[in-house]
Amino acid sequence: MTRQLLVLGAGTAGTMIANKLRHRLDAGAWEITVVDRDDLHPYQPGYLFLPFGIYTPDQIHRPRHAQLADGVRFVEAEVERVDAEAHRVSLTDGRLLDYDYLVIASGTTPRPDQTPGMLGSQWRRSIFDFYTFEGANALATALQGFDHGRLVVHITEMPIKCPVAPLEFTFLADAWLHERGVRDRVELVFVTPLPGAFTKPVAAEHLGSMLEERKILLEPDFMIERIDDEAKTLVSYDEREIPFDLLVTIPLNMGADFVERSGLGDELNYVPVNKHTLQSKAHADIFAVGDASDIPTSKAGSVAHFSVEIFVDNFLELIAGKPMTGSFDGHANCFIESGDHKGLLIDFNYDTEPLTGSYPLPLAGPMALLKETRRNHLGKLAFRWIYWNVLLPGRPLPLPAHMSMAGKHAVTAATKEE
Amino acid sequence: MPVTTMAGRPIQVNDEGFLTDADEWDEALGAELAAAIGITLTDEHWKAIRFLREDFAEQGETATLRRVSTRGEIPVKRLFELFPQKPTKKMAYVAGLPKPRGCV
């Protein structure tokens, strides 16, 4: 009898898993089905560039089904719930899908509805997000008409998808305002619930001084309670107030609502998993890969990519009745745009924070870690082609899934994450 | 690792004064840790601290502010009043737990 692998979500992780396993599972023995609520696969890193007119909207989207290998069934539907006991997923249109193994790859989504006042009178008037296609485009229009006042970039709560993107946006905004000759008429403020510019000490210090150099004000430890949309002010739980003329906010991020409805999620709808195998702590036949899980590393495409490599080999062992031998180390690496056609690269995992050095080859690089270079910026731009043509089809990319310490410069007493 | 004397016995702590072994904690020590940061524990404080201890025993990790609020059923606003300025850090300190993992 044919066995069923069901993947919920055709984003980065879900698409890669379906494609890699389609090539490695016998088509007669295994059916692979991928469910998504729409057929538009976004190149999400591109959203960062839309507000500044660097990418055009048509460079961002492709059909989801066209990214899937032949022999993978694509179902366009909304998931109602997962019945883990019955090994069955119900869709909101009433259809039922049985599974032998389930991969939850439904990602994380900005939820402006979770902060009082965010969706009030100022939403998409003076309050914008850029983690959605609509938000990034609306912000592009708003920026065109913005030449003076207080521009506030704000993170609601961690964790968020691509935690470096708010800083990148801030650096790009700084460079863009300079280019237009209005930077000295704009007060640029970066507001974060974290104690500093970023989460890991070495990177936080480095990125913090980059904010200072650019005269960008940092407002740390800011836990937002609400937005007073009439006064155009952010209000924190400890009653600090930050006024804005233009607010670019990263709303609370949450996993999919069906995860919550199915009783599979934590307080933010993320699926608790073993952080090395991505197997659900509650159900051995359920995995959560990509942003949908609760693993303690960045919610980022690079993490999805590296963890999929480990997952696929483990999955083949599992269905062969063997123990899973692969162990994901939380490896993430991210290009950080810093404006003026330069960028940084950071590389880290569960145990080691971002360090200086070179990547992927010790000394030779060619990418410099934690240092602004033009090559890192070009690397980021080149990645869009790699994403569509190498990564999503599941072709091998010559980067090791596990992080390496070779070529990196450890920093004394700070190599261990707190 | 530094060792300090609290509640009449030696306690292992890290550089910031957080307990490094959650098993060395008891409620008497909790009260003393709270006093050290200027907090007198009321029943409401204890509700939060006990939730953190129980949740840590189950999850192996210190609960975030949101988790204490949603699962421990104490509004965030109230947690800011009970443990002023840095409630997450202060609750973990008093409960003898590691600082919640830095978000990533």
Q: What is the dihedral of CA B27, B32, B37, B43, to 10 degrees?
A: 40
The answer on pLDDT for A188 being more than 60 is: yes
* Residues whose CB is less than 8 angstroms from the CB of residue A103 and which lie 6 or more positions away in sequence, other chains included: A5, A6, A7, A8, A14, A17, A286, A287, A288, A289
d(CA A131, CA A112): 11
Q: Which residues of B touch A223 (CB under 8 A)?
A: 65, 76, 80
pLDDT tens digits for range B27-69: 999 999 999 999 999 999 999 999 999 999 998 889 999 999 9
Q: Identify from A192, A235, A238 which residue to disrupt to test chain B contact, counting B C-beta atoms within 10 A and taking the largest count.
A: A238
Q: What's the mean per-residue pLDDT of chain A?
A: 93
Nearest residue to A170 via CA among A252, A248, A251, A57: A248
* Residues whose CB is less than 8 angstroms from the CB of residue B70 and which lie 6 or more positions away in sequence, other chains included: A267
How many CA atoms are closer than 13 Å to the CA of A126, on its beta-carbon side? 20
Percent of chain B with pLDDT over 70: 96
pLDDT tens digits for range A1-18: 899 999 999 999 999 999
Nearest CA in chain A to B16: A418
d(CA A350, CA A306): 13
Over residues A199-208, mean pLDDT: 84
d(CA B17, CA B2): 9
- How much is the pLDDT for A176? 96
pLDDT tens digits for range A135-160: 999 999 999 999 999 999 999 999 99
Active site residues of B: 103
- How much is the pLDDT for A409? 80
The answer on pLDDT for A178 being more than 90 is: yes
Q: CB A199 to CB B99 under 8 A?
A: no
3-state per-residue secondary structure call for A302-354: HHHHHHHHHHHHHHHHHHCCCCCCCCCCCCEEEEEEEECCEEEEEEECCCECC
Q: What is the dihedral of CA A373, A375, A380, A381, to 10 degrees?
A: 120
d(CA B59, CA A140): 43
Q: CB B65 to CB A223 under 8 A?
A: yes
Q: Which residues of A touch B84 (CB under 8 A)?
A: 238
Q: Is the pTM of this model over 0.80?
A: yes
* Predicted confidence band of residue B1 (pLDDT cuts 50, 70, 90): low
Q: In angstroms, what separates the C-alpha of B54 from chain A's closest C-alpha? A: 16
Element (H, E) at B17: none
The answer on pLDDT for A415 being more than 60 is: no
How many CA atoms are closer than 13 Å to the CA of A8, on its beta-carbon side? 31
> How many interface pairs between A and B have CB atoms less than 8 angstroms apart?
44
Q: CB A268 to CB B101 under 8 A?
A: no
Among the partner-chain residues A199, A238, A268, the one whose CB lies closest to the CB of B104 is: A199
d(CA A139, CA A123): 11
- How much is the pLDDT for B99? 86
- What are A5's two structure tokens? 């692998």
* Predicted confidence band of residue B102 (pLDDT cuts 50, 70, 90): low
Q: CB atoms < 10 A from the CB of A263, how many?
A: 11
Q: CB B67 to CB A267 under 8 A?
A: yes
The answer on pLDDT for A40 being more than 90 is: yes
Cα distances from A289 to residues A11, A150, A161, in angstroms, run 11, 39, 14
Nearest CA in chain B to A330: B104
Percent of chain A with pLDDT over 70: 97
Nearest residue to A158 via CA among A298, A52, A62: A298
Q: Which residues of B touch A196 (CB under 8 A)?
A: none
The answer on pLDDT for A414 being more than 50 is: no
pLDDT tens digits for range A321-338: 999 999 999 999 888 999
The amino acid at A6: L
Q: CB B84 to CB A266 under 8 A?
A: no
- Of A229-233, A257-261, A394-398, B43-47, the one with minimum mean pLDDT is A394-398
Among the partner-chain residues A237, A296, A417, the one whose CB lies closest to the CB of B77 is: A237
The answer on pLDDT for A248 being more than 70 is: yes
Interface of B with A in 38-77 (CB under 8 A): 64-67, 70-71, 76-77
Q: Which long-range CB contacts under 8 A does A374-383 form with residues at least 24 apart?
A: A374/A341, A374/A342, A374/A343, A376/A335, A376/A336, A376/A342, A376/A343, A376/A344, A376/A345, A377/A335, A377/A337, A377/A338, A377/A341, A377/A342, A377/A343, A379/A335, A379/A343, A379/A345, A380/A45, A380/A335, A380/A337, A380/A343, A383/A45, A383/A335
Task: Check CB contact of A418 with chain B, cutoff 8 Å.
Answer: yes
Does residue A369 or residue A183 have the better pLDDT? A183
Sign of CA dihedral B26, B27, B31, B37: positive
Q: Which residues of B touch A237 (CB under 8 A)?
A: 76-77, 80
The answer on pLDDT for A367 being more than 90 is: no
The answer on pLDDT for A363 being more than 90 is: no
Task: Check CB contact of B84 with chain A, cutoff 8 Å.
Answer: yes
Among the partner-chain residues A200, A268, A296, the one whose CB lies closest to the CB of B66 is: A268
* Predicted confidence band of residue A417 (pLDDT cuts 50, 70, 90): very low
d(CA A328, CA A342): 31
- How much is the pLDDT for A124? 97
Q: In what order do the strands lie in the sheet with A3-8?
A: A72-76, A30-36, A3-8, A101-104, A286-288
Q: In what order do the strands lie in the sheet with A149-155?
A: A127-128, A246-250, A149-155, A186-191, A217-219
- How much is the pLDDT for B103? 52
Among the partner-chain residues B77, B85, B104, the one whose CB lies closest to the CB of A296 is: B104
Q: CB A194 to CB B102 under 8 A?
A: yes
Task: Check CB contact of A349 with chain B, cutoff 8 Å.
Answer: no
Q: CB A221 to CB B86 under 8 A?
A: yes
- How much is the pLDDT for A79? 98
Q: CB B67 to CB A266 under 8 A?
A: yes
* Predicted confidence band of residue A406 (pLDDT cuts 50, 70, 90): confident
- How much is the pLDDT for A416? 38
* Predicted confidence band of residue A127 (pLDDT cuts 50, 70, 90): very high
Among the partner-chain residues A157, A199, A221, the one whose CB lies closest to the CB of B102 is: A199
